[in-house]
Chain A
Amino acid sequence: MRRPLPHPVSALVLALALGSGSLVAAPAPQLDRATLAVHRAQQPQRIIQAQAHFASLRAQFGLGEGDAFVARHAFTNPEGEAIVRLEQTHDGHRVWGGQAVAHVLPEGGIRTITTSVRTSVALQGEPQLSGDRALRIALAHLAPKGPMKDAPQVERVVFPAQFLGGLASKLDGTGRPVLDRSMSVTAKLDAPYVWAYEVRTRLHNREDGTKELTYLIDGNTGKILRIQDMVQHLEPAQGSGTGFYRGAVTLNTTLANDGTYLLMDTTRGTRTNQFVSGYQADPSATGWSPDIPALQVWFHQNDSDGNYTWMDGLFQTPVGVTTWGDGLPFTAWGQEGGINGQTVGVDAMSAMTTTWDFYKNIFGRDGMDGQGTAVAANVLNNFASPSWDSRDNASWSTWGQYIDLGAGSYPANPKGFQSMADLDVIAHEMTHGVTNPSQSHYWVNSAGYEEAGLNEAVSDFFAQMVKAYSTRTPGEDSVIPDTDGADWQIGKNVGHGTPLRWLDKPSLDERSVDGWFDGIKYMDGHFSAGPLNRAFYFLANGASSTPGSASYSPYLPGGMTGIGNDAAARIIYKAITEFLVGDGTGTITFQRVREACEQAAWYKGYYSEGTPAVRNAFAAANIGDAHNQTTPRTQVRFADFRHDDYIESTHFSDYSTRQVFPKGETVVPRITVLNNSNTAVTWSLGGPSMFNGADQNISKGGVINADGSWTTPNVMAWHSITATSQADPKQFAEGRVFLIGMDTDMDGEVDALDMAGVSVSWYLWGALNPAHSVFEAPLVDDDDVAFFVDAMKSTWPVK
């Protein structure tokens, strides 16, 4: 018997507790410090008030006595409102992805955001598996070769079926795109909620490299329901680079017991950092301890050939020496802690303090997580393996609240980067800490979700704002200037003049796109960020009405006037911290970002003329219609292809709208055209996600026939196809199709008898015929079964 899947309440539920019910509020006054202090002092009571309020709403959400909302994070904004984030629980256990936000107003009302409240939570009995068993299952999948960095954490949770994991792809050893079997999930659930265990793992060792994988394990069947990669990377690609960044700067350092100095700033941060917790204290010599809350910069210790030794060190100068670095590009392999290596440490520390101060002075935010947790950086990462190259990369660890920064492969690699420790790179990474402050409160950053683009765009935008802030007039610390400090480019210095990304016209990198389209979620988040980056740019800087200008948009040919850096940043910050719930489910779309920005601008009156600028800025990036636009835009969308089939198409993960077909057959992809009577489309092979090799996991091939059918190539791989509206060629959709080999008996005909090949190979360790497996793996399992059946149904449906 089929039961409906759970779904969040579709719209924001606002003003539930307000007597007036009016949302057309006058701009909220910025409170003086004394008044604000009074409100902050009341925050604990307001948290209780928020919890009680949500408890009173339980019946409205189909929840009962066993359901609760527990405050996990709170802050008081400049208007004196307590912004309380709450986690939903059921019988005392966290509901995965179930979150809510309460705005407790100074005058006593409460506004609520309930988009991530999971309704009608109900489960039968207790989980049959123990948490220990779930941990063993997760570790069996993780298969660590070296020691764990931290002990895995196991938490029993309620898992909503709609968040079942999806497909992942990767390049195999020959560079051929294949499904990433280890990261793919094809389990299925028949109930809207099940007991599960969340198992968080973290590896950081020579054999495994750095991994942070979180597993959701079914509490009854032991099946893996979802796998989440928790590391947020700056940039997975290579470019070219040179340069040296910060020049002469003043640093806060720490005098150690032995007279040396440590590159740690104890004036910033009030909570200890998790990353350094694994290091041994040094009470006798320096007095360093992981219990000291401080910004601090560590280095990867490499050998003289540049090979990582898997030892790390905190930068330290000799006794009495208070000067750091030599200002030269790093070359002293094996001597990372020396004066040449310190140069990178200086860059990192200076950028970290600038970014920390930006958030504190502009938004009153205490550290990245808003709770004062210190941030650590680890520079000069020179680890490179066939599967991962850290040299030209930077990443943010939500678990450790730390930044990992590559040493840069330039000039040995002419296309590589110089050291990654530049201001915009570090500001970008630290902003991930603002948007992803905890393991249960974060934005998904995997391709397959629009939310990944949001994650990267917000980091890109605030990196620009930090750059602008760094050029402020001394003493004017509370305003972001409209200066050239924000050049609207990311990574220009590490790339010695060639940026990684342009915010004003993202497509200049020949990988990103300038406008939203259905299927943008398939792009890597750094490139799908394009439309949001552009919208943020338009909001601050405006859009040109001159075709050919970098800031011209065909989606808003008349252009618009920007509202300036400071106003734009405050709107976006308020939207992401007060209106967008990062619940780890990946459900935030670009359209939702637009709505949140409209709400932030409108409600707070940051922009006195209301929301038209926000609407037009997003419309210029093809995210919704322009202000006062009366005829909705044409939209092209891939239809859900396997509705009700094993691969659930109704949940939000990257399964939806993906299609599976046999290779070397003629198939008919399905498409839907909205808001236009002319539904004709023009098909083409490939799509924007493949721009300039941006996504090497995708292929294109085959032949589009005159009747719109597609004769697929005889290649077992992910393929991209695009449908463009004939009525409005600016509107298109890119779909992802996986082509599988189905002729297991090799008689030249794909038919149902080929299932016998799957049958006799199922779970033989080292399959009889590896080609049976759609995953190109030696093991044939239920994934293969599911895809075979799905492809057969999709290709030869019964009318």
Chain B
Amino acid sequence: MRKLSLLLSSLLLGWTLACGGGSNTPSSTPLIPAKGLVYTDPTGTGWRLVKDASSTGTRIVLNLVGPSGLKTRGAGFNLQAPTTVRFGKFVTDDRVTTGLPILDTGVYSLLNHDPRDLGHEPIPNDPLEPRLLAGGVKKGNLLTVGIFQKDRYQSAKESGQALCRIALEFDPAVGLNAGDKLGLVITKSGYLAEDIGELTVHPTLEKTEKGRLVPMPIAVGTLSAN
């Protein structure tokens, strides 16, 4: 009997709110169609997504920055965004990286010496060789991006700087209103550590273990329409 009373009370409250008293868009505040996006950087010095100076009012470019002093060989993450914001792509001047949702900032060494060198004269680098820089937007507006060095003879890089970029774009067709919050959530992330085992071309169990991605929390700022 007591349970029934509580339930009735809850229903009553719900009915009351629906009749106007508890609306989350008070009639006193008119809706203003949004014209762009605004992003506020997160605090802290760990892994984080911070706004790049190239951002505009409708395209927010975010840098992945790591902790100072940490050397890494690459990183990747999945970022969930509401369907009311779209991920942008980058147009570059080479055929290998153009059109991707991730931009290489040049920190990691993505190009390599030809490992098939037969011990004679050196073979120059091929600027158009495939590189481990890729990404896509999966179902449900999940961005997945990664950037990794593939040549284990390349040194690990200082991570306290912009390691790669992604972009979020305002879509005027979806009907966002100024002030709407657009929650961004990192669902998976990891970096490739400096120590990946001895520098030989022979696989070992040690390398198997050291080659696994190290999980890393990435702090994300707040994104909203304005």
Contact = CB atoms under 8 A, between A and B. Distances in A.
Given A2-B93, A222-B114, A766-B202, A759 B192 contact: yes
Secondary structure class of chain B's binding surface, majority of residues: loop
B39 interface: no
Nearest to B125: A221
B2 interface: no
B221 interface: no
Q: Which range holds the interface residue count of chain A? A: 35 or more
Interface string B92-120: 01111011111000000000001110101
A188 B203 contact: no
B11 interface: no
Contacts of B212: 745, 756
Given A133-B121, A755-B148, A764 B134 contact: no
A759 B149 contact: yes
Contact of B188 (A751, A755, A766, A789): A751
Nearest to A218: B126
A768 interface: yes
Given A223-B126, A755-B134, A760-B196, A646 B89 contact: no
A751 B134 CA distance: 9
Q: Which range holds the interface residue count of chain B? A: 35 or more
Contact of B99 (A136, A763, A769, A793): A793
A140 B144 CA distance: 39
B128 interface: yes
A752 interface: yes
Contacts of A796: 135-138, 144
Given A759-B192, A798-B100, A753 B136 contact: no
A792 interface: yes
Interface centre among A752, A768, A769, A797, by most chain B C-beta atoms within 10 angstroms, is A752
Contacts of B116: 140, 222
Given A223-B114, A793-B99, A793-B100, A745 B213 contact: yes
Interface string A446-473: 0000000000000000000000000000
A788 interface: yes
A137 interface: yes
Contacts of B157: none
Contacts of B121: 128-129, 133
Contact of B144 (A2, A129, A751, A760): A751
Contacts of B93: 1-2
Interface string A109-133: 0000000000000000000110001
B42 interface: no
A749 B89 CA distance: 22
Interface in B54-107: 73-74, 76-78, 86-89, 93-96, 98-102
Given A223-B114, A755-B134, A764 B207 contact: yes
Nearest to B150: A762
Contacts of A222: 114, 116, 123
A753 B190 contact: yes
A199 interface: no
A797 B124 CA distance: 32
Interface string A356-382: 000000000000000000000000000
Interface of A: 1-2, 128-129, 133, 136-137, 140, 186-190, 220-223, 644-646, 745, 749, 751-769, 781-783, 785-786, 788-789, 792-793, 795-799
Given A765-B203, A782-B129, A796-B138, 10 more contacts: A751-B144, A751-B188, A753-B144, A756-B148, A756-B192, A759-B149, A760-B207, A763-B151, A766-B203, A799-B137
29 contacts: A137-B118, A140-B118, A188-B126, A190-B95, A221-B114, A222-B114, A645-B96, A749-B188, A751-B188, A752-B146, A753-B146, A755-B146, A756-B192, A756-B211, A759-B132, A759-B150, A760-B152, A762-B152, A766-B203, A768-B203, A785-B130, A785-B150, A789-B130, A789-B131, A796-B137, A796-B144, A797-B137, A798-B101, A798-B135
Interface of B: 73-74, 76-78, 86-89, 93-96, 98-102, 114-116, 118, 120-121, 123-124, 126-138, 144-146, 148-152, 188-190, 192, 196, 201-203, 207-208, 211-213
Nearest 6 Cβ contacts at the A-B interface: A796-B136, A760-B211, A752-B146, A785-B130, A751-B144, A786-B130
